[in-house]
Amino acid sequence: MKKLVLFGAGGFGREVAGILIRNINLKNPTYELLGFIDDGEQYHEGVMIDGYPWLGRRDWIIAHKEDVFCTCTVGDAKAKAVIQRELTDQGVRFETIIAKTAYIASSAEIGPGCVLYGSATVSVNCRIGAGVLLNDSVCLGHDVVIGDYTSIMSGTGISGCCTIGSEVEIGGHAFIIPGKKVGDRAHIAAGSIVFSNVKAGTTVLGNPAKRFRAIE
């Protein structure tokens, strides 16, 4: 079994531990989950998180990088990018966790440190960067490109030939029509229907999705 730690002990990390890894191991023992890494000041030696120990802060994983793999389970895309890039530069190995009920085309390419929840669908010739989150029932059409550290929430559909930038955050049950481009660090609000390209760093919402400057 592969020794694994999760960086990030919040709700996302606890879901990965208690749902994804648990069900992967029930079907085929794959991971020995050692516990959580988290830099939060509220954690200290002896703290247990849903039955798993807090192991330490990021210096712990650097000290043990030859023996264990890491998956970053920090929800914020920008924070996740900083953490995974820094630790990758330090030689930490990142593991991609894929639910047994996800559907992945054999021609798809998926980078290190990604998390794919159940019923996520990745169609033919998709390319997914490092540290990407695809939550429950996310569907990527053919030839979709997803940049590093992007997070896509439950029930979102991205049509064929779309290009999504890095550190993008897409809320649940959004939909993007074919061939559109979403720039780096853009935000697409939950339930939005995207008919036009989205510029980098902007926030859009609604049907049709329009720029909403008030929360940028």
How many angstroms separate the Cα of 154 from the Cα of each of 136, 148, 179, 201?
5, 18, 21, 22
Catalytic residue among 44, 64, 142, 173: 142
Q: With contact defined as beta carbons under 8 Å apart, do 50 and 17 qualify?
A: yes
145, β-bridge pairs: 127, 163
Torsion of CA 96, 136, 149, 41, to 10 degrees: -90
128, β-bridge pairs: 110, 146
Residue 142 is among the residues annotated as catalytic for this protein = yes
- List Cβ neighbours of 35 (8 Å cut-off, separation of 6 or more): 5, 6, 49, 52, 53, 54, 55
Q: What is 78-128 written as a DSSP string?
A: HHHHHHHHHHHHTT--B--EE-TT-EE-TT-EE-TT-EE-TT-EE-TT-EE
Q: What is 151-182 written as a DSSP string?
A: EE-TT-EE-TT-EE-TT-EE-TT-EE-TT-EE
Element (H, E) at 27: helix 22-27
Active site residues: 142
